[in-house]
């Protein structure tokens, strides 16, 4: 990927997109094309076609998506399916039409079957039933993977896909209902600390295991993959180790400085029991994450304090 290349980062203001922009700029890429959702609605086929025809990007990072936690996924099922299908369909197809040199599509670890063997290998895709609460989102992301594979096999497009594990970091979403577990915990413990609340409720038993990758590490991995990976099969991006929600909650409360108690509400759903990525393929290429979970949460909390 040439330093002067025209690079379109779709979703550049989101947590993942902004991390990709920082990673690109850090490596000396300067011709970055960015559009906010108000400037370019990626769900609009005509507008996306016009944009690609006018800008002629050479490389595309497809980080734009409608995302959210377990509540948002289960509540806005139609929105998650429709909007993600439209965004990726328009961007991937126009990348083919306008002869983009290479495209990187970003999915999610939720594409794997709910009860797939752990750790999750790339070969486990479509071998079982999905987690019901986020099935529409997962199906949209699987469709994106298959689009990249199909455009590669039919038209010879160098379109690759990467599946990140659970992410957190700068520009995360801290909405009280629609956020993911780690930013939700940061906000909840921070507000409880300020209000002097003696106990914080945590959804579920605390037993599910989750893997967390700092977003800026993902940004660097995406640039690395754009430079070094050209295979049809998607590739996992993660840290290769996980933590229970219970231990995560205690870690976040410690970093935030909350001194009250924790109560686990067993009437609430746990979600998938475990989602640990097998990252042997990525490590074999020579990339590994740099940021520890404790260090990353401290950075995320500092960003939360700065913005909110």
Q: Is 166 annotated as a binding residue?
A: yes
pLDDT tens track for 198-243:
999 998 999 999 999 999 999 999 999 999 999 999 999 999 999 9
User: Confidence band (pLDDT; 50, 70, 90) for 159?
Assistant: very high
* Contact by Cβ (8 Å): 71, 178: yes
Q: Is 271 annotated as a binding residue?
A: no
pLDDT tens track for 240-275:
999 999 999 999 999 999 999 999 999 988 877 888
Which structural domain, as residue segments, surrounds residue 34?
A: 7-168+212-240+277-291
Domain membership of residue 51 (yes or no) is yes
| Helices 293-307 & 181-195 angle (0-180, nearest 10) | 60
Mean pLDDT of 276-290: 97
Domain membership of residue 156 (yes or no) is yes
Domain membership of residue 120 (yes or no) is yes
| Helices 77-97 & 45-55 angle (0-180, nearest 10) | 30
Domain membership of residue 108 (yes or no) is yes
Q: Is 120 annotated as a binding residue?
A: no
Domain membership of residue 158 (yes or no) is yes
Domain membership of residue 252 (yes or no) is no
Q: Supply the pLDDT for residue 13.
A: 95
Domain membership of residue 181 (yes or no) is no
Strands (E), 119-273: 159-164, 166-168, 199-203, 209-210, 212-214, 235-237, 243-244, 261-265
Token look-up 């961007």 returns 91
Q: Supply the pLDDT for residue 133.
A: 86
Domain tally for the chain?
A: 1
Q: How many CA atoms within 13 Å lie on the side-chain side of 121? A: 6
**Which tokens sit at 306?**
């700065």
Q: Supply the pLDDT for residue 275.
A: 84
Q: Is 89 annotated as a binding residue?
A: no
* Residues annotated catalytic, as ranges: 137
CATH code for position 220: 3.40.50.720
Q: Select, from the ranges 81-95, 126-140, 261-275, the one with the highest average predicted confidence (pLDDT).
A: 81-95
Domain membership of residue 202 (yes or no) is no
d(CA 204, CA 246): 9
pLDDT tens track for 17-71:
999 999 999 999 999 999 999 999 999 999 999 999 999 999 999 999 988 777 7
């Amino acid at each position: 990927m040439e330093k002067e290349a025209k690079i379109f980062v779709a979703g550049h203001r989101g947590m993942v997109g902004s991390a990709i922009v920082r990673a690109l700029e850090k490596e000396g890429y300067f011709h970055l094309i960015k559009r906010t959702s108000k400037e370019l609605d990626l769900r609009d086929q005509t507008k996306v076609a016009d944009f690609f025809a006018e800008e002629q990007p050479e490389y595309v990072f497809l980080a734009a998506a409608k995302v959210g936690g377990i509540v948002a996924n289960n509540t806005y099922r139609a929105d998650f399916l429709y909007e993600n299908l439209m965004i990726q369909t328009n961007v991937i197809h126009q990348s083919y039409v306008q002869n983009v040199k290479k495209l990187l599509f970003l999915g999610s670890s939720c594409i794997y079957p709910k009860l797939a063997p752990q750790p999750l290998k790339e070969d486990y895709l479509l071998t079982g039933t999905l987690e019901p609460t986020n099935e529409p989102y997962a199906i949209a992301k699987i469709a994106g993977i298959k689009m990249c594979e199909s455009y590669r096999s039919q038209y010879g497009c160098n379109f690759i896909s990467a599946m990140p594990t659970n992410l957190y970091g700068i520009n995360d979403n801290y909405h009280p209902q629609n956020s993911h577990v780690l930013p939700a915990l940061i906000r909840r413990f921070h507000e409880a600390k300020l209000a002097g609340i003696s106990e914080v409720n945590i959804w579920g038993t605390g037993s599910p295991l989750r893997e967390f990758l700092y977003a800026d590490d993902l940004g660097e991995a995406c640039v690395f993959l754009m430079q070094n990976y050209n295979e049809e099969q998607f590739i996992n991006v993660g840290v290769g180790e996980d933590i229970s929600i219970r231990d995560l909650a205690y870690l976040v409360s410690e970093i935030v400085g909350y001194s009250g108690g924790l109560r686990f509400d067993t009437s609430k759903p746990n979600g998938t029991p475990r989602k640990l990525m097998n990252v042997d393929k990525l490590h074999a290429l020579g990339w590994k994450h740099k940021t520890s979970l404790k260090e990353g949460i401290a950075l995320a909390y500092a960003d939360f304090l700065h913005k909110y």
